[in-house]
Amino acid sequence: MSLDTAHLKNFLEMIAAERGAAQNTIDAYSRDLDQFLSFLDTRGRNAATSDSKDVQAYLQTLTDEGLASSSRARRLSSIRQFYKFLASEGIVANDPAAGLSGPKKARALPKVLSIAEVDRLIAAAASRTEAVEGRELFRALRFLCLLEILYATGMRVSELVSLPRSVLRGDPRVLTIKGKGGRERMVPLNPAARQALDRYLAVSGRFDNSPWLFASKAAEGHVTRQGFALDLKEIADIAGIDPERVSPHVLRHAFASHLLDRGADLRAVQQLLGHADISTTEIYTHVLQERLKKLVNDHHPLAKK
Protein backbone atom coordinates (compact mmCIF):
# COMPACT_ATOMS: atom_id res chain seq x y z
CA MET A 1 0.00 0.00 0.00
CA SER A 2 1.45 3.38 -1.07
CA LEU A 3 1.71 6.26 1.38
CA ASP A 4 -1.01 8.19 -0.48
CA THR A 5 -3.36 5.20 -0.34
CA ALA A 6 -2.72 4.83 3.38
CA HIS A 7 -3.30 8.56 3.98
CA LEU A 8 -6.56 8.43 2.02
CA LYS A 9 -7.72 5.36 3.95
CA ASN A 10 -7.03 7.11 7.26
CA PHE A 11 -8.84 10.25 6.10
CA LEU A 12 -11.93 8.30 5.08
CA GLU A 13 -11.93 6.46 8.41
CA MET A 14 -11.71 9.82 10.19
CA ILE A 15 -14.70 11.39 8.44
CA ALA A 16 -16.72 8.24 9.09
CA ALA A 17 -15.82 7.99 12.78
CA GLU A 18 -15.54 11.64 13.85
CA ARG A 19 -17.99 13.34 11.52
CA GLY A 20 -20.46 10.51 11.10
CA ALA A 21 -20.31 10.90 7.31
CA ALA A 22 -22.81 8.86 5.32
CA GLN A 23 -21.53 6.14 3.02
CA ASN A 24 -22.46 8.16 -0.08
CA THR A 25 -20.36 11.07 1.24
CA ILE A 26 -17.42 8.76 1.96
CA ASP A 27 -17.68 7.25 -1.53
CA ALA A 28 -17.74 10.73 -3.11
CA TYR A 29 -14.61 11.80 -1.19
CA SER A 30 -12.92 8.55 -2.18
CA ARG A 31 -13.64 9.02 -5.89
CA ASP A 32 -12.60 12.69 -5.91
CA LEU A 33 -9.35 12.11 -4.03
CA ASP A 34 -8.44 8.94 -5.94
CA GLN A 35 -8.50 10.97 -9.15
CA PHE A 36 -6.49 13.81 -7.63
CA LEU A 37 -3.84 11.47 -6.24
CA SER A 38 -3.60 9.69 -9.60
CA PHE A 39 -3.02 13.09 -11.22
CA LEU A 40 -0.22 13.85 -8.76
CA ASP A 41 1.34 10.47 -9.56
CA THR A 42 1.54 11.37 -13.27
CA ARG A 43 3.56 14.43 -12.24
CA GLY A 44 5.89 12.39 -10.06
CA ARG A 45 4.40 13.92 -6.92
CA ASN A 46 2.38 12.75 -3.95
CA ALA A 47 0.22 14.36 -1.29
CA ALA A 48 3.19 15.03 1.00
CA THR A 49 5.37 16.67 -1.70
CA SER A 50 2.73 18.55 -3.71
CA ASP A 51 2.33 22.32 -3.71
CA SER A 52 -0.28 24.86 -4.80
CA LYS A 53 0.92 24.70 -8.41
CA ASP A 54 0.03 21.00 -8.52
CA VAL A 55 -3.48 21.70 -7.22
CA GLN A 56 -3.93 24.56 -9.68
CA ALA A 57 -2.73 22.34 -12.55
CA TYR A 58 -5.28 19.70 -11.55
CA LEU A 59 -8.11 22.23 -11.45
CA GLN A 60 -7.05 23.54 -14.87
CA THR A 61 -7.17 20.00 -16.24
CA LEU A 62 -10.74 19.65 -14.98
CA THR A 63 -11.63 22.95 -16.66
CA ASP A 64 -10.05 21.81 -19.94
CA GLU A 65 -12.08 18.61 -19.77
CA GLY A 66 -15.26 20.69 -19.56
CA LEU A 67 -16.24 19.64 -16.06
CA ALA A 68 -19.07 21.76 -14.65
CA SER A 69 -18.11 24.51 -12.23
CA SER A 70 -20.19 22.88 -9.47
CA SER A 71 -18.26 19.62 -9.90
CA ARG A 72 -14.91 21.44 -9.90
CA ALA A 73 -15.90 23.27 -6.73
CA ARG A 74 -16.75 19.95 -5.07
CA ARG A 75 -13.39 18.44 -6.09
CA LEU A 76 -11.53 21.42 -4.63
CA SER A 77 -13.55 21.13 -1.42
CA SER A 78 -12.54 17.45 -1.12
CA ILE A 79 -8.88 18.34 -1.65
CA ARG A 80 -9.06 21.07 0.99
CA GLN A 81 -10.57 18.71 3.56
CA PHE A 82 -7.92 16.10 2.79
CA TYR A 83 -5.02 18.53 3.23
CA LYS A 84 -6.50 19.88 6.47
CA PHE A 85 -6.45 16.33 7.76
CA LEU A 86 -2.85 15.79 6.59
CA ALA A 87 -1.79 19.04 8.25
CA SER A 88 -3.47 18.07 11.52
CA GLU A 89 -1.60 14.76 11.41
CA GLY A 90 1.73 16.52 10.81
CA ILE A 91 2.14 14.89 7.39
CA VAL A 92 2.33 18.22 5.54
CA ALA A 93 3.69 21.47 6.92
CA ASN A 94 1.83 23.74 4.51
CA ASP A 95 -1.60 23.31 2.99
CA PRO A 96 -1.20 23.66 -0.81
CA ALA A 97 -4.96 24.18 -1.26
CA ALA A 98 -5.18 27.07 1.20
CA GLY A 99 -5.95 30.38 -0.42
CA LEU A 100 -7.06 28.89 -3.73
CA SER A 101 -10.36 30.32 -4.91
CA GLY A 102 -12.90 27.90 -6.24
CA PRO A 103 -14.68 28.26 -9.58
CA LYS A 104 -17.61 30.64 -9.57
CA LYS A 105 -20.90 28.87 -9.91
CA ALA A 106 -22.88 30.02 -12.93
CA ARG A 107 -25.97 31.88 -11.90
CA ALA A 108 -28.99 29.76 -12.62
CA LEU A 109 -31.37 31.37 -15.07
CA PRO A 110 -35.03 31.61 -14.03
CA LYS A 111 -37.39 29.03 -15.47
CA VAL A 112 -40.11 30.62 -17.55
CA LEU A 113 -43.14 29.65 -19.58
CA SER A 114 -43.90 30.86 -23.06
CA ILE A 115 -46.77 33.28 -23.67
CA ALA A 116 -48.69 30.45 -25.37
CA GLU A 117 -48.25 28.23 -22.32
CA VAL A 118 -49.50 30.94 -19.96
CA ASP A 119 -52.51 31.41 -22.27
CA ARG A 120 -53.21 27.68 -21.99
CA LEU A 121 -53.06 27.84 -18.19
CA ILE A 122 -55.51 30.74 -18.08
CA ALA A 123 -57.83 29.06 -20.61
CA ALA A 124 -57.85 25.86 -18.52
CA ALA A 125 -58.61 27.86 -15.36
CA ALA A 126 -61.40 29.76 -17.14
CA SER A 127 -62.95 26.52 -18.41
CA ARG A 128 -63.32 25.31 -14.81
CA THR A 129 -65.69 28.21 -14.08
CA GLU A 130 -68.23 26.86 -16.57
CA ALA A 131 -71.13 24.54 -15.70
CA VAL A 132 -70.44 24.76 -11.95
CA GLU A 133 -72.17 26.60 -9.16
CA GLY A 134 -72.09 27.21 -5.46
CA ARG A 135 -68.84 26.47 -3.65
CA GLU A 136 -67.21 24.99 -6.76
CA LEU A 137 -67.90 28.17 -8.72
CA PHE A 138 -66.52 30.29 -5.89
CA ARG A 139 -63.28 28.28 -5.76
CA ALA A 140 -62.91 28.24 -9.55
CA LEU A 141 -63.40 32.01 -9.84
CA ARG A 142 -61.05 32.66 -6.91
CA PHE A 143 -58.31 30.60 -8.53
CA LEU A 144 -58.83 32.25 -11.93
CA CYS A 145 -58.59 35.65 -10.26
CA LEU A 146 -55.39 34.69 -8.44
CA LEU A 147 -53.86 33.43 -11.69
CA GLU A 148 -54.85 36.47 -13.74
CA ILE A 149 -53.56 38.92 -11.11
CA LEU A 150 -50.31 37.00 -10.65
CA TYR A 151 -49.51 37.09 -14.36
CA ALA A 152 -50.73 40.68 -14.72
CA THR A 153 -48.61 42.03 -11.87
CA GLY A 154 -45.70 39.66 -11.26
CA MET A 155 -46.36 39.77 -7.52
CA ARG A 156 -44.60 37.43 -5.13
CA VAL A 157 -47.01 34.64 -4.20
CA SER A 158 -46.78 35.63 -0.51
CA GLU A 159 -47.88 39.16 -1.47
CA LEU A 160 -50.70 37.87 -3.64
CA VAL A 161 -52.43 35.42 -1.31
CA SER A 162 -52.23 37.82 1.66
CA LEU A 163 -53.64 40.87 -0.13
CA PRO A 164 -55.88 42.75 2.29
CA ARG A 165 -59.39 43.57 1.14
CA SER A 166 -58.50 47.25 1.58
CA VAL A 167 -56.55 47.15 -1.72
CA LEU A 168 -59.92 47.47 -3.44
CA ARG A 169 -60.23 51.07 -2.30
CA GLY A 170 -59.21 53.75 -4.74
CA ASP A 171 -58.41 53.40 -8.42
CA PRO A 172 -59.62 49.96 -9.62
CA ARG A 173 -56.96 49.95 -12.34
CA VAL A 174 -54.10 49.59 -9.87
CA LEU A 175 -53.30 47.78 -6.64
CA THR A 176 -51.08 49.23 -3.93
CA ILE A 177 -49.21 46.38 -2.28
CA LYS A 178 -46.72 46.13 0.54
CA GLY A 179 -43.65 44.07 -0.33
CA LYS A 180 -40.36 43.14 1.30
CA GLY A 181 -39.09 45.52 3.92
CA GLY A 182 -42.52 47.13 4.14
CA ARG A 183 -41.92 48.95 0.84
CA GLU A 184 -45.11 49.88 -0.98
CA ARG A 185 -45.48 49.84 -4.75
CA MET A 186 -48.31 50.18 -7.23
CA VAL A 187 -49.00 47.51 -9.81
CA PRO A 188 -51.47 47.95 -12.67
CA LEU A 189 -54.26 45.51 -13.44
CA ASN A 190 -54.94 44.71 -17.07
CA PRO A 191 -58.56 44.35 -18.31
CA ALA A 192 -58.47 40.54 -18.03
CA ALA A 193 -57.36 40.71 -14.40
CA ARG A 194 -59.97 43.35 -13.57
CA GLN A 195 -62.71 41.24 -15.15
CA ALA A 196 -61.57 38.15 -13.23
CA LEU A 197 -61.55 40.19 -10.02
CA ASP A 198 -65.08 41.51 -10.65
CA ARG A 199 -66.40 37.99 -11.30
CA TYR A 200 -64.76 36.70 -8.13
CA LEU A 201 -66.07 39.56 -5.97
CA ALA A 202 -69.58 38.90 -7.26
CA VAL A 203 -69.58 35.45 -5.60
CA SER A 204 -67.43 36.13 -2.52
CA GLY A 205 -70.14 37.78 -0.45
CA ARG A 206 -69.88 35.30 2.43
CA PHE A 207 -66.38 36.61 3.08
CA ASP A 208 -67.27 40.32 2.91
CA ASN A 209 -66.31 40.77 6.56
CA SER A 210 -62.90 39.13 6.11
CA PRO A 211 -59.83 41.39 6.15
CA TRP A 212 -58.38 39.32 3.30
CA LEU A 213 -59.18 39.63 -0.39
CA PHE A 214 -58.69 35.91 -1.04
CA ALA A 215 -60.33 34.66 2.13
CA SER A 216 -60.55 30.97 2.92
CA LYS A 217 -61.18 28.66 5.84
CA ALA A 218 -57.45 27.99 6.26
CA ALA A 219 -55.88 28.81 9.62
CA GLU A 220 -54.34 31.94 8.10
CA GLY A 221 -57.75 33.18 7.05
CA HIS A 222 -56.70 33.39 3.41
CA VAL A 223 -55.52 31.12 0.60
CA THR A 224 -52.12 29.67 1.44
CA ARG A 225 -49.06 29.69 -0.80
CA GLN A 226 -48.96 25.91 -0.75
CA GLY A 227 -52.64 25.55 -1.61
CA PHE A 228 -52.38 27.92 -4.54
CA ALA A 229 -49.23 26.17 -5.80
CA LEU A 230 -51.00 22.79 -5.73
CA ASP A 231 -54.00 24.18 -7.62
CA LEU A 232 -51.61 25.66 -10.17
CA LYS A 233 -49.97 22.28 -10.80
CA GLU A 234 -53.40 20.71 -11.23
CA ILE A 235 -54.32 23.30 -13.85
CA ALA A 236 -50.97 22.79 -15.58
CA ASP A 237 -51.75 19.09 -15.92
CA ILE A 238 -55.17 19.90 -17.40
CA ALA A 239 -53.51 22.34 -19.82
CA GLY A 240 -51.06 19.67 -20.99
CA ILE A 241 -48.02 21.31 -19.39
CA ASP A 242 -45.59 19.40 -17.17
CA PRO A 243 -46.65 20.38 -13.62
CA GLU A 244 -42.99 20.28 -12.54
CA ARG A 245 -42.36 23.30 -14.77
CA VAL A 246 -45.11 25.39 -13.20
CA SER A 247 -45.16 27.27 -9.91
CA PRO A 248 -46.23 30.73 -8.73
CA HIS A 249 -42.62 31.89 -8.92
CA VAL A 250 -42.29 30.62 -12.49
CA LEU A 251 -45.27 32.82 -13.42
CA ARG A 252 -43.54 35.79 -11.77
CA HIS A 253 -40.53 35.03 -13.96
CA ALA A 254 -42.78 34.75 -17.01
CA PHE A 255 -44.32 38.16 -16.26
CA ALA A 256 -40.89 39.81 -16.16
CA SER A 257 -39.35 38.07 -19.16
CA HIS A 258 -42.43 38.60 -21.34
CA LEU A 259 -42.43 42.32 -20.53
CA LEU A 260 -38.75 42.68 -21.43
CA ASP A 261 -39.27 40.59 -24.55
CA ARG A 262 -41.88 43.15 -25.66
CA GLY A 263 -39.49 46.05 -25.07
CA ALA A 264 -40.31 47.13 -21.52
CA ASP A 265 -37.76 49.28 -19.69
CA LEU A 266 -35.63 47.36 -17.20
CA ARG A 267 -36.11 50.01 -14.49
CA ALA A 268 -39.88 49.81 -14.90
CA VAL A 269 -39.80 46.03 -14.53
CA GLN A 270 -37.62 46.43 -11.43
CA GLN A 271 -40.25 48.67 -9.85
CA LEU A 272 -43.11 46.35 -10.76
CA LEU A 273 -41.32 43.34 -9.26
CA GLY A 274 -40.34 45.24 -6.14
CA HIS A 275 -36.62 44.49 -6.50
CA ALA A 276 -34.46 46.69 -4.29
CA ASP A 277 -31.45 46.21 -6.60
CA ILE A 278 -31.63 46.32 -10.38
CA SER A 279 -28.96 43.61 -10.62
CA THR A 280 -31.65 41.17 -9.46
CA THR A 281 -33.85 42.21 -12.37
CA GLU A 282 -31.01 41.99 -14.89
CA ILE A 283 -31.09 38.19 -14.72
CA TYR A 284 -34.12 38.33 -17.04
CA THR A 285 -32.05 39.96 -19.77
CA HIS A 286 -29.86 36.85 -19.67
CA VAL A 287 -32.97 34.72 -20.18
CA LEU A 288 -33.72 36.64 -23.37
CA GLN A 289 -30.12 36.34 -24.55
CA GLU A 290 -30.19 32.58 -24.06
CA ARG A 291 -33.50 32.39 -25.93
CA LEU A 292 -32.02 34.31 -28.88
CA LYS A 293 -28.94 32.06 -28.91
CA LYS A 294 -31.14 28.98 -29.00
CA LEU A 295 -33.23 30.50 -31.78
CA VAL A 296 -30.14 31.07 -33.91
CA ASN A 297 -28.58 27.69 -33.12
CA ASP A 298 -31.81 25.82 -33.88
CA HIS A 299 -32.85 27.64 -37.04
CA HIS A 300 -29.93 29.41 -38.71
CA PRO A 301 -28.88 27.48 -41.86
CA LEU A 302 -25.17 27.72 -40.97
CA ALA A 303 -25.49 26.95 -37.30
CA LYS A 304 -25.05 23.21 -37.63
CA LYS A 305 -22.27 23.28 -40.21
* Catalytic residue flag (residue 275): yes
Nearest C-alpha neighbor of 114 from the set 230, 229, 241: 241
Nearest C-alpha neighbor of 103 from the set 65, 145, 62, 50: 62
* Catalytic residue flag (residue 284): yes
d(CA 142, CA 132): 13
* Catalytic residue flag (residue 156): yes
Selected catalytic residue, list 75, 120, 165, 252? 252
* Catalytic residue flag (residue 104): no
Selected catalytic residue, list 178, 233, 275, 291? 275
Which long-range contacts (C-beta less than 8 Å, at least 24 apart) are formed by 157-161?
A: 157/225, 157/228, 157/229, 157/248, 157/249, 157/252, 158/225, 159/274, 160/214, 160/228, 160/248, 161/214, 161/222, 161/223, 161/224, 161/225, 161/228
d(CA 87, CA 82): 9
d(CA 29, CA 8): 9
Selected catalytic residue, list 105, 180, 245, 286? 180
Selected catalytic residue, list 156, 199, 253, 258? 156
Positions marked active-site: 156, 180, 249, 252, 275, 284
